[in-house]
Amino acid sequence: MKRVIWKRACFAVQGRSHLSDQTPCQDSVATAYRRNVNVIALSDGAGSASLSHFGSKECAQTLCNVLCRRFDEIWRMNNIDAKLSVTQELCRQVEDKAHDLNSITTDLAATALAVGVKRNRYIAIHLGDGAIGIELTNSDSTTELKTLSSPDNGEHSNETYFITSNRAAEHVRIYTGTLDEQRPAVITGFILMSDGPEAALYRKADNQLAPACLKLLKSSRELNRRDMQTGLRATLELIANTKTFDDCSIALLSHTGESKRTQKRKRSKCQRQS
C-alpha cells in the first residue's frame, strides 16, 4: 500500500544570456522528505556575484534542511524571531561555503524560496524576487491559483534582496498556515518560481499566476517521476527560449490525495460519531 500523499518535482535550466557568455546556471532547486516534512526549495544566484551558483545551491539545500529539521520549532516562533533565526542559519551556511571556496560571502549572493508541509500545516519562506503560488481546490473539485508571496524587488527592475544583503532578515517573509485555512477550499499544491519563469507565469499588474501553473501541478500528480522531469525541463526550455534571457527554475509540491490509512481512519471516526 502506497502512502505517498505529496509529490515533489523541480528543475532548473540555463538562460540564453548565460548560455551565450558561458556562465553556469545560477538557479538551484532542491526537495526533501524527512521527519514527515515535505519540502521544495529554490534559489536564484545574483548575476553580479561570481560564485552565486554555489550560493544558490547552498541556500536551496539549507532551506530543505531547516524546514525538515526545525519545522515545529519555526511554527511555534513569532514571525520576527522566525525570520531572524532562518536568516541566521542561511547566512551561516553561505559564509561557511564562501570560506571553503576562499571567497567572500557576497560572491555567493542568492535569493531564497521554500515551502514545507507537515500534515495539515505549511511554512513558506521567501526572500527576494521570484514568486510562491498556491493551488486551491474548492468543494466542487474546481481548482484555482493564488499568489502567496509576490516578487520583492526594489523600485528598479534589476534590484532585489539576497541572503547576503544588509538587513536581509527585514526582507525575509515567513508564512505559516494550515491547508484548510481557506475553507471550504483546501490548499492542494504549491509552486515556487525564480524571476526567469516569473516573466511568463506571473503578472505583476494584478498579482495573478498564469493558468500554466495549474497544468504543471496537475501533471506533477499524474506523471511518473521521469516523465515529469522531462516535461518540466521542456517547459522551462520553452519559457527560456521565448520569454526571458534569464535562468529558469520551478519547484512543485502537489497533493495527490489522502493515503488509504488516513481515509480508513476518517471513515472510522465518522462511523463512531454517527
Partner 1 sequence: MNELALVEMEDLFENPTPRVPVALCLDCSGSMMGEPIRELNEGVKTFYQAINDDEIARFSAEICIVTFGPASLEADFATLDTRPQPPVLTASGNTPMGEAVQLALDSLEERKAAYRASGVDYYQPWLVLMTDGKPNGNNFVLQQQITRVADMVERKKLTVFPIGIGSDADMNVLAKFSPGRSPLRLQGLKFSDFFSWLSKSVSRVSQSTPGDKVTLDVDGIRGWAEL
Interacting residues with partner 1 (CB under 8 A) = 17, 44-49, 52, 109, 128-129, 153, 155-160, 162, 195, 199-206, 208, 210-212, 215-216, 219, 230-235, 237-239, 241-243, 245-246
Instruction: Name residues whose C-beta falls within 8 Å of residue 207's C-beta, 6 or more positions apart in sequence.
Output: 147, 150
CB of 155 to partner 1, least distance (A): 7
CB of 183 to partner 1, least distance (A): 28
Residue 68: helix, strand or coil by DSSP? helix
Angle at which helix 52-76 crosses helix 79-100, to 10 degrees, equals 150
Pairing of strands 208-209, 186-193: unpaired
Cell 516573466 locates to 199
Strand residues in the chain grouped as ranges (E): 6-13, 27-34, 37-44, 112-118, 121-127, 131-137, 143-149, 173-178, 186-193, 202-203, 208-209, 248-255
Instruction: Pick between residue 107 and residue 122 the one whose CB is nearest to partner 1.
Output: 107
CB of 209 to partner 1, least distance (A): 9
CB of 77 to partner 1, least distance (A): 29
CB of 173 to partner 1, least distance (A): 17
Instruction: Pick between residue 118 and residue 218 the one whose CB is nearest to partner 1.
Output: 218
Instruction: Pick between residue 65 and residue 153 the one whose CB is nearest to partner 1.
Output: 153
Cell of 184: 471550504
**Starting at the edge strand that comes first in sequence, how are the strands of the sheet with 173-178 ordered?**
27-34, 37-44, 112-118, 121-127, 173-178
Instruction: Pick between residue 39 and residue 163 the one whose CB is nearest to partner 1.
Output: 163
Instruction: Pick between residue 179 and residue 193 the one whose CB is nearest to partner 1.
Output: 193
Instruction: Pick between residue 108 and residue 123 the one whose CB is nearest to partner 1.
Output: 108
CB of 268 to partner 1, least distance (A): 38
CB of 162 to partner 1, least distance (A): 7
Cell 515535505 locates to 38
Phi-psi region of 216 (alpha: psi -120 to 50; beta: other; left: phi over 0): alpha
Task: Please say whether the dihedral angle defined by the alpha carbons of residues 246, 211, 255 and 37, taken in this order, is positive or negative.
Answer: positive
Separation of alpha carbons 112 and 202, rounded Å? 17
Instruction: Pick between residue 178 and residue 230 the one whose CB is nearest to partner 1.
Output: 230
